[in-house]
Amino acid sequence: MSEESSEQKIPKGSYAAGRRVTLPEGAEKPIVVFVNGVAQSEGEDYAIRDHEILFTREIIKEDKTGKKKLFMLLGVVGFYNKDETVDVQFQKSGKTEFASDLPVFE
């Protein structure tokens, strides 16, 4: 069993997408990071380095196969796998901006 799997359980139908998210172009401090709408703590939950957010744990995404997407679109069957979203509030040119559901990578 790997170290990652022992520290965080990944539900069936989901996968560990990674720990890194690229900040939006021109993002300036203050930066507030949210996972599923919950504000995260810099230093405890993540760090910002080289225009990236580096999380201390894997972000879990839902494995959306073609068949599952079709069923969800048609509303035939409900799926309740874990699918975390990363959102960021930041300053750009003196204005507060918000980027939603940013891509996560290794």
pLDDT, the chain, mean: 86
Report if residue 4 sits inside a domain: no
54 vs 1, higher pLDDT: 54
Q: Could you tell me the pTM of the whole model?
A: 0.79
% residues pLDDT > 90 (the chain): 65
How many domains in the chain?
Answer: 1
Domain that holds residue 44: 13-99
Cis ω before 103 (30° cut-off from 0): no
pLDDT tens, residue by residue, 20-50:
999 999 999 999 999 999 999 999 999 999 9
pLDDT at 65: 65
